């Protein structure tokens, strides 16, 4: 098991949240970023939806990003490699914390200039199977004044953690526990997000 995975597991075990070095190396992040840009050029990104939202208007008031889900059966080489590394982390989390995550769903996200995602939980309703949320930033040369921070609300000590969406940084947290929001940025903001999911119980 990798030292970095150990650190992430330790942080999730103690605080429920990890912000730090990414399990995806620099070359991989560049390849994923390239893939997102190709998808965008081919109009492969679609306006994101929100579980609870009932109309298009209520969705766009909540979030302004466009997304593309990774298709498990048609992964580009960089995506296969990323899934391999994410699955290793999932195995480490399962082993240490018994979270029972059986797979990971991932999508690219692009926030145009000025777009945001208001405070939310990554679980919509009690039947949601998401256990761990992941975010990998794909933004080269991001400066603090570009904005676009992720704010993570730590309810246990009422603090707010601010994360710059810089490539090389990743975020992981227990999906049910941390309300979070994305602030508007002065340039397009790119990421790959993932959710580790547990198996549905009988009747769910
Ligand atoms: C999400 C999300 C945060 C970020 O996609 O659900 O909260 O920093 N993303 O991109
Ligand atoms: Mn979220």
Percent of the residues in the chain that have a pLDDT greater than 90, as a whole number: 87
Q: What is the pLDDT of residues 88-121, one digit of tens each?
A: 999 999 999 999 999 999 999 999 999 999 999 9
**Residue whose CB lies within 8 A of the most ligand 1 atoms, among 52, 66, 128, 135, for a mutation test:** 135
Give the pLDDT band of residue 128 (cuts 50, 70, 90): confident
Kindly tell me if the per-residue pLDDT of 204 is higher than 90: no
Kindly tell me if the per-residue pLDDT of 53 is higher than 90: no
Helix (H) or strand (E) holding 110: strand 101-111
Give residues with Cβ within 8 angstroms of 193, minimum separation 6.
106, 107, 108, 109, 133, 134, 135, 136
Give the ligand 1 atom nearest the CA of 150: 8
pLDDT for residue 7: 98
Pocket of ligand 1 (CB under 6 A): 109, 117, 122, 135, 150, 165, 180, 182, 191, 193
Compute the distance between CA of residue 14 and CA of residue 33 in angstroms, rounded to an integer: 32
Kindly tell me if the per-residue pLDDT of 56 is higher than 70: no
122 C-alpha vs ligand 2 centroid, how far in Å? 5
Give the ligand 1 atom nearest the CA of 120: 7
Q: What is the pLDDT of residues 8-34, one digit of tens each?
A: 999 999 999 999 999 999 999 999 999
């Amino acid at each position: 098991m990798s030292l970095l995975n150990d650190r992430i597991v330790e942080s999730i075990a103690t605080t429920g949240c990890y912000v730090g070095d990414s399990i995806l190396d620099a070359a991989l992040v560049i390849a994923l970023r390239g893939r997102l840009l190709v998808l965008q050029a081919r109009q492969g990104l679609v306006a994101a939806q929100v579980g609870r939202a009932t109309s298009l208007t209520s969705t766009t008031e909540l979030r302004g990003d466009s997304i593309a889900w990774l298709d498990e059966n048609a992964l580009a080489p960089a995506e296969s490699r990323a899934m391999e590394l994410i699955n290793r982390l999932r195995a480490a989390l399962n082993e240490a914390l018994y979270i029972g995550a059986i797979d990971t769903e991932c999508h690219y996200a692009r926030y145009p200039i000025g777009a945001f995602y208001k405070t939310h939980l990554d679980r919509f309703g009690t039947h949601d199977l998401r256990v761990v949320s992941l975010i990998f930033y794909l933004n080269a040369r991001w400066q603090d004044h570009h904005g676009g921070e992720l704010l993570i609300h730590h309810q246990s000590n009422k603090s707010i953690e601010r994360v710059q969406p810089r490539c090389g940084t990743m975020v992981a947290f227990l999906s049910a526990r941390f309300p979070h929001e994305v602030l508007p940025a002065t340039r397009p903001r790119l990421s790959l997000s993932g959710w580790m999911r547990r198996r549905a119980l009988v009747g769910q």
